[in-house]
Structure formats: structure tokens, C-alpha cells
A and B are shown apart, each in its own frame.
Chain A
Amino acid sequence: MNQKYIGIKNCSLPVDIGQIPLLSYEEFSGKVKELLKAEENHCLNYFTIEEAGDRYFYCLIACDSEKNIQVLSHKIRKEKASLVSLTPDCPSLHVFEREIFENTGVEFSGHPWLKPLRYPHDATSKTDMADYPFYSIDSEELHEVGVGPVHAGVIEPGHFRFICNGEKVLHLEIQLGYQHRGIEKLFVEKDSTLRRCILSESIAGDTSVGHALAFTQIIESLTGIQAGESLQIERCIALELERMAVHIGDTAALCGDVAYQLGQVVCEALRTLIINTTQLWCGNRFGKGLIRPGGSNYPMTDNVEDAVLKVLDQTEKRFGEISDLIFSLPSVMARFEDIGHVTEDQARSIGAVGMAARTCGISRDIRSSHPFQYYTKFPVAPVILDSGDVLARAKMRDLEFRESVRIVRDLINIRKKRNKESGKPVYDTVLKPGSLAVALVEGWRGEICHIALTDNKGRIVNYKIKDPSLHNWLALALAVRNQEISDFPVCNKSFNLSYCGNDL
């Protein structure tokens, strides 16, 4: 047996933890470096758990061309508190090594930026939010600007520290963690599928459907429950409606940031139409309550189907009109074009996912690379742009909205020919013991990854959540370099990353 890792597919049955080959750290790091050199591979998560005096590390690397996920593992004695950092060779691992260091105290020698990630309540070294070691430059020419944690708008908290030369930003450092609620621990403690389900809808409330779907996939993987085709289609429709609503809302906010009021007002009203349709479907504008393991409390009725088709027609026409206008106005284009540039190399090295990657020419869309639910039978072509600026990220919303309209229409037509029985939710679940399950979902921001580990009694002992924002915050920091500081709001909005999804 020369196998160095075990391969699984998204939404497949879980892996038996005992079957995962344990490597030495030398072998492990060599293999990780080798895999991450290839463009089609990227790291989904890298984390550690403690068991009987040993510390087990798991690294999950997705291969987009093979559509599979490789699980690599190594272990060290608990007291051995230092490893050689992989970040210098694989920069995209920087967040994971920081997370492990913060949570367990395992040091990564040679890590260039071993700073706190989110100041969790149970961090090994208790430091205060106020003590964050910001990067600084001694110079009489430069000045620092601190923004947050409480911002001017009605948004979540986070601190931004700029080092500026006059109006120009040389460096931005983003300090997060203010939103930390200890949600991963709660997933382990709340020993009930329903409770965890409600929690999953609150990981990031703007991505309720996306995160609830990832959790549902974990439960269905660990129980072997198969969702029927009709239910799978409903879930995809809910996910696309969420994408459409946020994309229009983001377009409104982008217009607001460049003082284009007509665009803002019209898009806000269009977003309302879509989220009110979600509310008609399930009673909640964010789709909370819609996604459940094994079935649905709100099967898509003919009435809902008609309402969805109607809102597609309305928003397609009206959003088409306003986005034509937005992208033809010199006053808007001057604020979008060539602003907040991220290169393809940068995006690759930080492991950018979702829109942040697709606007830099990287084809990374879980719907096509690791399909889940009905996307396994309904291929989706990712929308790719390559200019990497605010304009690309604004245009991406427009193009993906159009694509989602097409997808939802097609899915409704397919569903019409299917048995529309979606079944009732299943909360009374017996989970497969000694397993590692992984679920990937392409939410509107990008790749959502949930991982659960069960013990020999089938209890969840570790739950890892990754919102796409975890990777992409660094893309924002890179985007504002050498920009006017006044362009920061529009750059920030063009990414629209999650604070609570990062802070957990």
C-alpha cells in the first residue's frame, strides 16, 4: 500500500476515519506542497483535533478536474508544539495555520504572518482585541487611518487599519473576530439535528440557504438519506433565488457607494421582489426554515412555482434595463473601472474562491467542479471575467443574475415532469460512527465547506465551517493597495464579504 491519501466526492458517503492513512509530517507536507502546485487543486480546509494525547491533522484538497477531494492526515504528540509552516510554499494555507495556532497553540515556524484570526473565546493564549499586532511602518511621511469596529452604515463590525501616503493606501490590514459567537463549539454541544439546523441558518444570515444546505448535506451523508430529485431541484432553486437577491442587493449598494441613486433605489426594490417571493414560499425573506435534512416543511406548490416564474420575468426585464444603464454611465464607470485590482496570481496564491476568483479569470465554481444536489445532472457553466477590478465584480453580479434566471426557469420546467413529492424533514437521525463527512456548496459568495467528524458512538465530535470569506478577505486587502482611500467603500462593497461567516 503506497496510498498517501483517501479520495472522496462531494455529497458522497463519508470516509471511515480509520481508513485515512497517517503520514509523517515530512511526507504530509511534501504531498500537500506537491498537490497545491497544480492549478486545478485548492485547499478546502486544514484543521486539527485532539484525541487521547495525540493531535490529528486533516487537510482536504479539492481537485477540480477529477471532481474529487483528497483527505491527507498526520499526527503529532500533543506536547510537541511546533511544526514547520507550509505557508511560505502554499500561501493559501496561511489562514488555516493561523487558526490552528490560535486554537491549540501549535506554532508554525517560518509562518510570515502568525497573527490572531478571530480572537475566539477559547484561544490558548488569551489576548485582548485591543492588542492586535498591527503591521506598521515608521515614517514621517506616512499616516495611519483606523476604521471600525462600528462602521458608518448598518453593517457588521470589523476593524480596518490603513497605512496611507497622502490619499493613497499603501497597506490595509483587516482585524476580524468581533463577531465570534463560538458557533463551531455549539454545533458539537447542541446534540439535536433540529438545533444544529437552526444554527446553520445563522452562520451567515445572508447565506442562510447556502449554509443550511451544506449542513443538510453533512447529515444526509452521515445517515445515508437520499434526497429525491424534486427535493434536490427545490434546493437548487432556493439557492439560486438567494444568489439573485444578493447580487441585485449588492448592485444597489455599489450604486449607492458611487452616489448613483437611481440605480440604488431601483435595485433595492427589485431585491424586495425576490426576497418577498422567498417569503411567499416559506414565510421568511432569507429562506430560514426552507432547507431541512431529508425533506421540506415547505414543498414548492404550483402557486409558489407561478410566483417564482413571474418574479423571474419581472426582474429579468427590469434588472436588465437598469444594468444596461448603470454600465453605460461614464460617472459610474469612472468609479468602477480599473479600481481595486486583484491579479490572477494574487487570487490563486491566497486561495480565492467564488466571485473573487471568477473575476480574476479563475474557473472555480463548486456547481460545476464538485456538483451537489441537482447540479449533478444539470451542468452549470461558470461565468468568468478576467479584469479583477470593481467593474468585473459588479458585472459578475449582472451576468450571474442572468444565468441564475435561466437555471431557475429550466429547473422549474424539469421539476414539472417529476414526481413532486419532497417528503418531510428527518430530525431523528442516527449518524454513521467513526466517520469524516464533507459537504461543499457554491453559495452566492463562493465555496462553502462544512466538515463533520463522528466518534465511535456516532456523535459529532468536531464540526468545521468555512465561509468563502475566510479566503477572500485578503483579496480585499490586496485590492486597495495603491488606491485612493476614498475608493475603499466601493472596493469593500464589491467583495461584500461576511464578518460573522469568518468569525464563526
Chain B
Amino acid sequence: MFKGIKVIKSHGIQYVKNLRTQPVSPLFRGRPVIKSNISRDDIRMVSNLCPSGAIDPESGSIDIGRCVFCRECSFACPEKIVFTDDYRIAANTRNGLIIHPGNEEHLRLNEEIIRTEVRRMFKRSLKLRQVSAGGDNSCEMELNAAGNVNFDMGRYGIEFVASPRHADGIVITGPVSENMAEALQITWDAVPEPKIIILAGTDAISGGMFTDSPAVRRRFIDEHHIDLYVPGNPCHPLTFINGIMDLLGIK
């Protein structure tokens, strides 16, 4: 018993008090900012360099749904491209993930297109079923971490459940491998209405580095309405939880 007391004393208080403002490492690669005066040559150079093709060679915008957050463009062009430590980068439209040169504003969800039943039904309790479809296990571990003693998203009634029949939606990780496509569809069909889809991580949002792989089948993603995109490689627990809080209208 004394050993247990010692452990609890050393453990102390570990939970993150404010999930909105908790600082992360200054080097954390969150929302990128591209300076408006970036030259055409620089745009072409970083666009060629980008391993996942996230930088548009014409406009110089960065698609953070495609970005693998390697920061190589910023190393090559440190004056014009900066990755901030802003982790609140989830969006509810695909276009909302595209950051144009000169845009230094925070990303916020488009409130108008959030379905009314999503907030009405899930604001106080959201149960999710996770489907890993070719995920590399880093996103999966971060989703687990979102429920752990530090981030504790359970405080808002958000948690992962074992069965799709108990769930209000699914969270997909990975580029959706051909071999998982059917299991993903079956899982989705088993979730009762109304239900939501969240894509967690760059691989799920765009296919990431696996976009061109013949082993990937993204039809499910293309054919369904996506309620929330959570970028990252992997997505940080704080990005995930903040995104859901914004979707549900939790202050």
C-alpha cells in the first residue's frame, strides 16, 4: 500500500488544464505561414522539393491536408516559409486546409456548414469508432493519447468505443489500403444515423505519400461527406481534440 501511495505522490497532477492554450514545443510543426512576398523562383524551388506535392507551383499555397510537415521547404527558404507552433489546424472543408501566401490568420471551422443535428446530438457525448486503413500506427497512438491521463478528452464526453454500433461516427487513419476498403465500408454501415466522419492525419485526408500507390483505394473518402479534417503527420492529440471541440461548439 505504501508503494502505491509513493507512486501516486510522484505522479502528481498530469492533466492538461486548458486544452485550448496548452503550449507545445516551439519547434512543433503546426500551421505554416508563407510570406506574401515569396518570389516565383522560390515557389518553384520549394514546390519541386516538397516530398508530398503539397505546394502549388503557381500560387505557392500549401495544402496542409497533403503536407507531411517535414519542414524541408522552410529549411530551404527560411525567410519566406515558417511553421508556427499553432496546433489548432483542423478544418471542416477540404479547401479550408489550403493556406495561401500572406495568410497569417488562425484556421477556424466554417460554422455555416456544420449540420445542426451534429451539435444538437453530440455536444455532450460523442462516441467514436476508429478504423485504421493503412495507417502507420503513429496517428493511432496519438488518438489513444487523446484519451489518456494528460489530454483526457473524456472530460467532454468524447471517447472511443469498441463497436461501431455504439458509435456516433468513425475516425479514419491511413490512406485507405485496398485490402481495408471493404472493412471500412462495413464498419461505416454499422454506425447508426446520424453519424459523422473524421479524417485524422495527412494520409487519411489526401493519401499523403501514398496517393499514387496502386495499393490504395480512396473511393470511400471521395464518396462521403467528411465532417472534420485533422491534419498532421501524425495529428497531435491537441489538434484532434480542439478540432472536435470546434465542431461540437464546445467553448
Asked if A203 and B10 make an inter-chain contact with CB atoms under 8 angstroms apart, the answer reads: no
Cross-chain contact of B136 among A276, A280, A321, A500 (Cβ < 8 A): A500
Contact present for A195 and B25 (CB under 8 Å): no
- What CA separation (Å) do A321 and B250 show in the bound complex? 38
Please give the distance in Å from A247's CB to the nearest CB on chain B: 14
Interface flag for B242 (CB, 8 Å): no
B residues in contact with A194, CB < 8 Å: 49, 51, 70, 72
Is B221 in the interface zone, CB < 8 Å from A? no
B233 touches A288 (CB 8 A): yes
The segment from A16-24, A38-46, A181-189 that touches chain B is A181-189
B129 CB contacts on chain A under 8 angstroms: 150
Complex interface bits, B1-13 against A, C-beta within 8 A gives 1, otherwise 0: 0011011101100
Question: Could you say which residues of chain A place their CB within 8 Å of the CB of B14?
Answer: 269, 272
Total A-B contacts with CB atoms under 8 angstroms apart: 197
Q: Inside 8 A of B208's CB, which chain A residues have their CB?
A: 202
In the complex the two chains form, is B179's CB within 8 Å of A179's CB? yes
Q: Decide if A125 is an interface residue (CB 8 Å cutoff).
A: no
Nearest chain-A residue to B52 (Cβ)? A198
Does the CB pair B140–A156 fall under 8 Å?
A: yes
Within 8 A of B (CB), among A327-371: 328
Measured between alpha carbons, how far is A71 from B86 in the docked complex, in Å? 50
Which residues of the partner chain A approach B179 to less than 8 Å between Cβ atoms? Answer: 119, 129, 177-180, 503
**What are the residues of chain A within 8 A of B178 when measuring CB–CB?**
121, 180
Bound complex: CA of A180 vs CA of B215, how far in Å?
7
| A286 CA to B69 CA, complexed, in Å | 13
Partner of B177, one of A180, A208, A268, A498: A180
B137 touches A321 (CB 8 A): no
Asked whether any CB of chain A lies closer than 8 Å to the CB of B234, the reply is yes
B180 adjacent to A206 (CB under 8 Å) = no
In this complex, how many residues of chain A approach chain B with their Cβ under 8 Å: the count is 68
* Range, interface on chain B: 35 or more
Is B145 interfacial (CB 8 A cutoff)? yes
Residues of chain B within 8 A (CB-CB) of A189 are: 212
Cα–Cα distance between A181 and B135 once the two chains are bound (Å): 9
Contact pick for B210, options A181, A197, A279, A285, CB 8 Å: A181
Smallest Cβ distance from B50 to chain A, in angstroms? Answer: 9
Task: Decide: A195 near B130, CB < 8 A? Known: A206-B138, A285-B142.
Answer: no
User: Quick check: is B160 within 8 A (CB to CB) of the other chain?
Assistant: yes
A91: CB under 8 A from chain B?
no
Let me know if B64 is at the binding interface, CB within 8 A: no
Q: Is B213 an interface residue (CB 8 A)?
A: yes
Are A500 and B150 within 8 A (Cβ)? Answer: no
How far apart are the CA atoms of A447 and B132 in the complex, in Å?
A: 25
Interface string of A203-224 (1 = CB under 8 A from B): 1111010000000000000000
One of B25, B69, B177 near A181 (C-beta < 8 A): B177
Q: Is the CB of A208 within 8 A of B70?
A: no
Closest A residue to B163 by CB, please name it. Answer: A152
Task: Let me know if B121 is at the binding interface, CB within 8 A.
Answer: no
Q: Cβ of A414 < 8 Å from any Cβ of B?
A: no
Given A156-B140, A186-B213, A202-B209: A179 and B174 interface contact (C-beta under 8 Å):
yes
Q: How distant is B199 from chain A, measured CB to nearest CB, in Å?
A: 15
Q: How far is the CA of A396 from the CA of B164 in the complex (A)?
A: 35
> Taking the complex as formed, is A124 at the interface, i.e. its CB lies under 8 A from any CB of chain B?
no
Is the Cβ of B148 less than 8 Å from the Cβ of A208? no
Judging by beta carbons under 8 Å apart, are B139 and A205 in contact? yes
Q: Which of A283, A321, A328 contacts B29 (CB 8 A)?
A: A283
Given contacts A198-B52, A283-B71, A289-B71, contact A318 B136 (CB under 8 A): no
A262 pairs with B4, CB closer than 8 A: yes
Which of B29, B145, B213, B233 is A272 in contact with, Cβ under 8 Å? B145
A399 shortest CB reach to chain B, Å: 19
Whether a CB of chain B sits under 8 angstroms from the CB of A192 is yes
Measured in the bound complex, the distance between the Cα atoms of B182 and A298 in whole Å is 41
Is A137 part of the contact surface with B, judged by Cβ < 8 Å? Answer: no
B51 CB contact (under 8 Å) in A153, A154, A198: A198
> Once bound together, how far apart are the Cα atoms of A182 and B216, in whole Å?
8
Take A129-B179, A272-B150, A325-B3 as given contacts and tell me if A179 and B214 are in contact as well, using a CB distance cutoff of 8 Å.
no
- Given contacts A153-B162, A181-B215, A279-B28, is CB(A318)–CB(B11) below 8 Å? yes
Q: Identify which of residues 224-245 in chain A touch chain B, using a CB-to-CB cut-off of 8 Å.
A: none
Is B32 engaged at the interface, CB distance under 8 Å to the other chain?
Answer: no
Q: If A157-B180, A285-B236 touch, does A204 touch B137 (CB 8 Å cutoff)? A: yes
Residue numbers of A with Cβ under 8 A of B are 119-122, 129-130, 149-150, 152-157, 177-183, 185-186, 189-190, 192, 194-195, 197-199, 202-206, 208, 249, 262, 265-266, 268-269, 272, 276, 279-286, 288-289, 297-298, 317-318, 321-322, 324-325, 328, 498-500, 503
Closest 9 A/B residue pairs (Cβ): A205-B138, A205-B136, A182-B215, A283-B27, A152-B162, A121-B215, A269-B14, A195-B51, A182-B213
Could you jot down 26 A-B contacts, CB within 8 Å?
A119-B179, A120-B215, A121-B215, A150-B129, A154-B140, A156-B132, A156-B135, A177-B179, A178-B134, A182-B210, A186-B209, A189-B212, A194-B49, A194-B70, A195-B209, A202-B136, A203-B136, A262-B8, A266-B7, A268-B145, A269-B148, A286-B138, A288-B69, A289-B70, A325-B4, A325-B7
